[in-house]
Structure 1
Amino acid sequence: MVQLTVRHEAWPVRGKFTISRGSRTQADVVVAELSDGTHVGRGECLPYPRYGESVEGVIAEIEALGGPLAEGLDRRGLQSRLPAGAARNAVDLAFWDLECKRAGKRHWDLAGLPQPGPVTTAFTLSIDTPEEMGRKAAANAERPILKLKLAGPDDLDRVEAVRANAPKARIVVDANEGWTAAQYSALVPDLQRLGVVMVEQPLPAGDDAALAGIERPVPVCADESCHDTATLAALKGRYDMVNIKLDKTGGLTEALRLKQAAEAEGYGIMVGCMLTTSLACAPAVVLAQGVALTDIDAPLLLAEDRDPPLKIEGSLVYPPAPALWG
């Protein structure tokens, strides 16, 4: 029998984080803990309004599991008990952490995976004026990958400013559903010229069929359009890559399945994160082994983080210490 506790935590952002849907000055996360009386497992998620989630709603979803958990609900049973999303993610990750502590093993051992090494993360520049994004690019010019949040009339100017101030960096851009197919097609020659290697979710999910009818010389990655393995079939012909995030898949259990299925279908893999602490990003390190692109820089965007945090040297993110997770 395991006992459940759940709480809301607010973590301040370093400055302000802005995408096409608005700005944030803090990360409002939900933490689930599972205790067997000896060991405690933790998992963290970020309720996302874009997916109809709220802190209160996610907490209620998790609290409703108290009875089933006391009656023996385990991680495998959880997969059908809750839909993919933030609530299931927090509990799934808490189960993984608890199982690791009980067994005295690391999460990659339980998953039957090789020991992970460090991964290189993209560093995100949120939407701002071209001048300000150029300034931020200059301050991070030595980072190997910069990810630009876009979705506005000055997007090309923003990319131009970043490229001028970070000439060596690989650049990926994320429109967060803010473009049209015509905008992608109009921008793509200049994006190629500026060395952009990927465009993330240019069109709104549910309105992205047009991607199947246009050339995509700069690969397009599904984010809001790809949640779990059930959503994979609808992406065929529209996307070249998929962005796997634990809060979308509903935990590491399903994320590992999605990664395997997407690779089998020939998609390039990106592993991303929400605006969360190191606790939520820690499981993504093992998921990010061998993928085309990793974007788990959220701890770098916060003013404060867990103790201990993920070890991050520059843009190199190391596997978590057992005291953090897994």
Structure 2
Amino acid sequence: MSLDAEFERVSMPLENPFTISRGTQTAAENVVVRVTDEAGMTGVGGAAPSSHYGETADTVEAVMPDLLDAVERVGDPHALHAIESELRAVVEGNPAARCAVSIAVHDLAAKRLGVPLHRLWGLDPSDAPKTSFTIGLDDTDRVREKAADAVEAGHSVLKIKLGTVRDRELVDAVREAAPDARLRVDANEAWTPKEAVRKAEWLADRDVEFVEQPVPAENPEGLRYVYERSELPVAADESCVTAADVPAIADRCDIANLKLMKTGGLLEARRAIAAARAHGLEVMCGCMVESNASIAAAAQLAPLLDYADLDGSLLLAEDPYAGINLSDGEIRLAEQDRAGTGARPAEE
């Protein structure tokens, strides 16, 4: 058996500038990987690197030839553990780059068997939770408008980015525009522990579901302080990168938030989910601003999750790839009519 692999960089403008407490993004630079077997069947995966974790599209492109050489050396798309071990042996860091290859190979393996990836894993698509839709930081009127637009599009779960002196005003604006929506907030490490506890009090009054990463990941005792005193459940994102981080956060949060681009691959993502469950945590899967080349793979994990935040492709003005239908927040795995992850060129 032989495999051929290739990659390309894609730049995708966002529908609206996307701002969090660390900065503003107007376009997403992803790298798409394609792995083809000797019969001409192709698996697709995507990397959405984050500079917060030391990756850029340039670093992904720099290591990708070595990663794809490793895939071709293994040669069998069903040897998923061997391939991911080889990828880590070749490039220890660069998790988004490794993840793109992992997704492509999983996509190809499931396609060769003629089943959706969630079916290969034995998952029930009816167990998938709804995904939230993220409202980025903006002026208050614009935040209100974006929340109203999201509700009109059918989204019933909204996530609000916070980390400003206007946090209360922004939450009130969203609640005004979406009185019946489930709300979650994400501070992206912007608060102090005492500030987070104070804000959780009035967030609870506004029927917010939980608060994500209230304090910097470099302050684990601060996270514990918030967890022990907060009126809301606490989700750990930046504090939880791979499965190895789960034991350290188990007594500091209620929810582990994994992202494929942090874990480095689908096998590690599933290990992180299992580790979180073993430690009594609930589980969420988030994303970067990503093409469906990778979001479709994350959606396959949905039946294993308590919460989903997989709106990355919905934030794009145009995506060269189509995937699972998430347009109104429903993760419609049961409607998937293609084997693999369901990712495909948008023009098909």
Matches within 5 A, 1:101-112: 101-112=111-122
2:27 — aligned with what? 26
% identical aligned pairs: 36
Q: Does 1:75 align with 2:76?
A: no
Aligned residues: 326
Give the Cα–Cα distance (whole angstroms) in 1 for the partners of residues 99 and 291 of structure 2: 14
Identify if the C-alpha distance between structure 1 residues 124 and 186 changes in structure 2 by more than 3 Å, giving closer, same or farther.
Answer: same
1:294 — aligned with what? 308
Give the Cα–Cα distance (whole angstroms) in 2 for the partners of residues 215 and 88 of structure 1: 38
Deviations 1:101-123 (A, max 9, x none): 22222212332333556641111
Give the Cα–Cα distance (whole angstroms) in 2 for the partners of residues 114 and 163 of structure 1: 33
Higher helix share: 2
1:182 — aligned with what? 194
Matches within 5 A, 1:120-159: 120-141=130-151, 143-159=155-171
Deviations 1:184-205 (A, max 9, x none): 0121110111111111111111
Deviations 1:133-156 (A, max 9, x none): 122223334531110011111111
Q: Shift of the alpha carbon at 1:244?
A: 1.6
2:343 — aligned with what? 325
- Candidates 163, 173, 177, aligned match of 1:165: 177
Structure 2 stretches lacking a partner, 5+ long: none
Q: Shift of the alpha carbon at 1:12?
A: 1.4
Matches within 5 A, 1:241-256: 241-256=255-270
Partner AA of 2:140 in structure 1: P
RMSD: 2.0
Identify if the C-alpha distance between structure 1 residues 308 and 212 changes in structure 2 by more than 3 Å, giving closer, same or farther.
Answer: closer
- Candidates 194, 201, 212, aligned match of 1:200: 212
Normalized against structure 2, the TM-score is what?
Answer: 0.88
- Candidates 46, 63, 66, aligned match of 1:64: 66
Runs of 4+ in 1 over 6 A off after TM superposition: none
8 A contact 1:117–1:318 mirrored in 2? no
Normalized against structure 1, the TM-score is what?
Answer: 0.93
8 A contact 1:310–1:321 mirrored in 2? no
Identify if the C-alpha distance between structure 1 residues 114 and 153 changes in structure 2 by more than 3 Å, giving closer, same or farther.
Answer: same
8 A contact 1:122–1:295 mirrored in 2? yes
8 A contact 1:116–1:286 mirrored in 2? no
Deviations 1:227-257 (A, max 9, x none): 1111111102211101121111112211112
Q: Shift of the alpha carbon at 1:47?
A: 0.9
Q: Does 1:97 align with 2:107?
A: yes
Tell me whether 221-230 or 299-308 shows the greater mean CA deviation.
299-308
1:231 — aligned with what? 245
8 A contact 1:201–1:225 mirrored in 2? yes
